[in-house]
Amino acid sequence: MQRLSSNRTIFYKFAFPSGLFVAASFCIWNPRAGILEASVFTIALVFSAWFASYLKKVHLERDSFRIASVFGDAHVPQSHLKRFEVYSWHTPQFIALDFDPPTRWGARIIIITPIEETGNVSEELSAVIERNLAEMAPNHSPDPTPAPGMPPAGQESRHG
């Protein structure tokens, strides 16, 4: 079982929004703080809480992803991963995983990669998608016998 998400996921999911909640509360109840400061912290709190709802801990097992959240975990077949997107504006990187059919948490899940394994996670996810595409491709060779009335392969029809 390979860990794809960082151990810091708990910080981004709970500690960071909690810190913003404390800051927003302080600004709201502090008579010296203006409405602008309170608004900025409140908007940041709402955004971080919304973003944190997509963060999950993910492990790659032999044929499935084990996705864990506060409310339980689930095994999702690797074949359900359709694409992923790397957000490289941040270190550690955020990677959005898109599943079809959706998981119990929705079609998109975001993981935070371990700092030391950022490239490895992207490579492993690329390999999973390549395996999925290979399994979906038709595994039959073209029939060399032409259909009735058709010329053999590689020859053009001489009918005008």
Strand partners, 17: none
Contact 10, 27 (CB under 8 A): no
Q: Structural domain tally of the chain?
A: 1
Rounded to the nearest 10 degrees, the angle between the axes of helix 16-29 and helix 35-52 is 160
Residue 1's pLDDT is what? 66
pLDDT band per the 50, 70, 90 thresholds, residue 157: very low
11 within some domain:
yes
Instruction: Establish if 141 belongs to a structural domain.
Output: no
Provide the percentage of residues in the chain whose pLDDT is more than 70: 81
Q: The CATH number of the domain where 101 resides is what?
A: 2.30.29.30
Give the residue numbers spanning the domain of 33: 2-136
Top-confidence residue, 133 or 158 = 133
For the chain, where are the E strands, in sequence order? 2-3, 57-60, 64-69, 72-77, 81-87, 94-103, 106-112
46 φ, ψ (degrees, to nearest 5): -65, -45
Cα 150-151-152 angle, rounded to 5 deg: 120
Q: Do the domain assignments include residue 71?
A: yes
Residue 146 lies in a domain: no
> Is residue 160 domain-resident?
no
Query: Residue 52: what residue type?
Result: A
Average pLDDT, the chain: 77
pLDDT digits (tens, 9 = 90+) for 36-85: 877 887 888 888 888 888 888 888 888 889 988 877 888 999 899 999 98
Instruction: Tell me, yes or no, whether 158 lies in a domain.
Output: no
Q: Which of 68, 125, 70, 124 is nearest to 97 (CA)?
A: 125
Q: Identify whether 147 is part of a domain.
A: no
- Has residue 69 been placed in a domain? yes
Answer yes or no: are the C-beta atoms of 117 and 8 closer than 8 Å.
no
